A and B are shown apart, each in its own frame.
Chain A
Amino acid sequence: MKKPIVLGIETSCDETSAAVVSGGTHLLSNVVSSQVKLHQRFGGVVPEVASRKHVERITWIIQEALDQAKVSLKELDAIAVTKGPGLVGALLIGISAAKALSFATGIPLVPVHHIAGHVYANHLIKPLPFPLVALVVSGGHTELLFMEKHNRFERLGKTMDDAAGEAFDKVARLMGLPYPGGPEIDRLAKKGEPIYDLPRAWLEPGSLHFSFSGLKSAVIQFLQQMKSQKKEVDQHHLASSFQTAVVDVLIEKSINAVRKTGVQHLLLAGGVSANRQLRQQLTERCRKENITLQIPPPELCTDNAAMIAAAGTYQYLDGHFADLTLNADPNYEMNQRVE
């Protein structure tokens, strides 16, 4: 059978992206227009500003993705687009474009869950080794997933409050660092030691859920205390202490999830997987525990359309399509798309 060629479209947050993937594994193009600079002055993503930028760029980005892949519209087998979760106004740009394109060409439309996309970013490097556990960490999500085969996701744990990346951004702001906070904290932490005592939220014993808002409050308290005692805060040590507190929890719960499900393979995905300490320590830990670990390269960790095209390919092969009434779902639940 001919390998399906799938166009992916992703506009769930502040990256406008389109990509072409062949056979679910072979990346032909992945064009990402990041708005990070645009949002920097506001200290975070402004949904209305993001949506406005998406409209300007979307057609050009799709054209560019096809050009770079040397694929014409007629050669596409499916159009995969992020249905959610994400910012509703931003999602609607990708969805409106995908529906119009599907109507104009008769090419089937495939709705993709954004987090499923993050997991499939790994598939573009090396086929997903089922059964597996995936840790998806980014500014918008922190989830532990179990996958037995393609298109089947079982959620083992999620964050009860802030996403890990969100905690990074919020703490960075408290420390007076620019947005986005993750890379800044990572950079400072490199030269620091985790000497400040910050809490880790393990929740009830054995729980695979996460909570990061308590950690953020602890940082606020710590800063206030130091200020009232007129003590100097070492930015490097604070960054390291905070980052270590987050990484410890992420690693411990992931290993726990692997043990509980009895699988051999762990996947890391999402923007926070670019974090140096997380990559290093998780790699070491997995080696010790005899677990194979897969981490996509940084450009596939952040939001991109290639991962949407890859995930969309398997839904296409499963016959999971959407009609022209497809709408954005900012709170799209993962289990809604299973079956």
Chain B
Amino acid sequence: MKILAIDTSTLVMGVAILEEKRVLGELITNSHKKHSIRLMPAMAQLFEELELTLEDIDLLAVTKGPGSYTGIRIGVTTAKTLSWAHQIPLYGISTLAVLAENGFHFNGWIVPLLDARRERVYVGIYQREVEQLRAIYSPQIMTITKLLDILKKQEKPVLFLGDDCERYAEQIKMHLSNQAKFGTLAENIPKPSQLGYLAWGKLQQKEAPETEQFAPDYLQLTQAEVNWLKQHNHGGKHEN
């Protein structure tokens, strides 16, 4: 049982191949360079170095968002097409769930976070339960202020994960002082191997794989849709 995992949802581009619970190989970059150009050659290189082909793959995993809209779509479209062409089951997994795995051994709340601009973040809150992480707050978008209020009330130690945390570090420390911990450099990057591992878990749980309709989870409507709803909501619910 071999798993191919693809992540292009953030600045990080990652491809991994796993043999059940063993990582055979993993390629990660964390740079602005275009995922659209580099993803397929990276994947081809990994296959070549491991002397494998797509024929050897039994399971596919891809990050379905949140993250860069274009980035997510490159990964999802690629994974969907590979899945369809070779009839390989595919699981889409939240980028935040993948990032949370880097804090697996932390006793407290694990808070993977991506910047969503305008003082908002894509965030989930996770906690270890026996052998896996459970989402206490599923991936969503909220203001950093609201997030810090939620965390402050719980009075539990909190581990922030993700490169974007640095942007809010001062604010976090001010609000949570000693309650807040931060991931190490390596822990701040989503790992495609973790993604593959989570997909493997879904297969063990006999979860239904994605269908042809599979689409990213952007966690946000497009700006055009938001504006349209504002204009057409006569009740004024969206006014404030």
Note all chain A residues with C-beta closer than 8 A to B80: 55, 58-59, 97
**Does chain B have a CB within 8 A of A56?**
yes
**Does chain A have a CB within 8 A of B138?**
no
Note all chain B residues with C-beta closer than 8 A to A92: 36, 70, 73-74, 77
Measuring CB to CB, which residues of chain B are less than 8 angstroms from any residue of chain A?
34, 36-41, 43-44, 54, 69-70, 73-74, 76-82, 84-86, 212-216, 218, 222-225, 228
Note all chain A residues with C-beta closer than 8 A to B81: 58-59, 62, 96-97, 100-101, 104
Note all chain A residues with C-beta closer than 8 A to B41: 323-325
Partner of B70, one of A60, A63, A89: A89
Partner of A96, one of B36, B38, B44, B69: B36
Binding-face segment, A42-50, A177-185, A206-214? A42-50
Which of B34, B73, B86, B216 counts the most A-chain CB atoms under 10 A from its CB? B73
Report the Cα distance A41→B222, complex, angstroms: 14
B54 to chain A, nearest CB (A): 6
**Does chain B have a CB within 8 A of A51?**
yes
Report the Cα distance A259→B74, complex, angstroms: 46
Report the Cα distance A327→B86, complex, angstroms: 23
**Does chain B have a CB within 8 A of A218?**
no
A233 to chain B, nearest CB (A): 26
Q: A42-B228, A48-B69 are in contact. Are A62 and B84 (CB under 8 A)?
A: yes
- Whether the pair B54, A89 counts as a contact (CB closer than 8 A) is no
Report the Cα distance A325→B36, complex, angstroms: 8
Partner of A55, one of B37, B76, B86: B76
**Does chain B have a CB within 8 A of A257?**
no
Interface residues of A in 49-80 (CB under 8 A from B): 49, 51-52, 54-56, 58-60, 62-63, 73
Report the Cα distance A92→B228, complex, angstroms: 26
Report the Cα distance A89→B39, complex, angstroms: 16
Measuring CB to CB, which residues of chain A are less than 8 angstroms from any residue of chain B?
41-42, 46, 48-49, 51-52, 54-56, 58-60, 62-63, 73, 88-89, 92-93, 95-97, 99-101, 103-105, 323-328
Note all chain B residues with C-beta closer than 8 A to A89: 69-70, 73
- Whether the pair B84, A327 counts as a contact (CB closer than 8 A) is no
Given contacts A48-B224, A51-B73, A103-B43, 10 further A-B contacts (CB under 8 A): A42-B224, A46-B224, A52-B215, A55-B76, A58-B77, A58-B80, A92-B73, A103-B82, A325-B37, A327-B34
Which of B70, B215, B224, B228 counts the most A-chain CB atoms under 10 A from its CB? B224
Note all chain B residues with C-beta closer than 8 A to A328: 36
Report the Cα distance A93→B79, complex, angstroms: 12
- Whether the pair A48, B40 counts as a contact (CB closer than 8 A) is no
- Whether the pair A100, B82 counts as a contact (CB closer than 8 A) is yes
Note all chain A residues with C-beta closer than 8 A to B224: 42, 46, 48-49
Report the Cα distance A25→B56, complex, angstroms: 37
A204 to chain B, nearest CB (A): 40
Report the Cα distance A51→B70, complex, angstroms: 8
Report the Cα distance A48→B216, complex, angstroms: 13
Note all chain A residues with C-beta closer than 8 A to B39: 96
Note all chain A residues with C-beta closer than 8 A to B215: 52, 55-56
Partner of A73, one of B36, B38, B85, B216: B85
Smallest Cβ-Cβ distance to B216: which chain A residue: A55
* 14 A/B residue pairs, CB under 8 Å, sorted by A: A42-B224, A49-B224, A52-B215, A54-B73, A59-B80, A60-B212, A60-B213, A62-B81, A92-B77, A93-B77, A99-B40, A100-B77, A104-B81, A328-B36
Note all chain B residues with C-beta closer than 8 A to A58: 77, 80-81
- Whether the pair B54, A104 counts as a contact (CB closer than 8 A) is yes
Report the Cα distance A71→B97, complex, angstroms: 40
B55 to chain A, nearest CB (A): 10
Note all chain A residues with C-beta closer than 8 A to B43: 103
A230 to chain B, nearest CB (A): 30
Q: A97-B81, A103-B44, A327-B37 are in contact. Are A48 and B74 (CB under 8 A)?
A: no
Report the Cα distance A62→B85, complex, angstroms: 10
Smallest Cβ-Cβ distance to A11: which chain B residue: B77
- Whether the pair A99, B78 counts as a contact (CB closer than 8 A) is yes
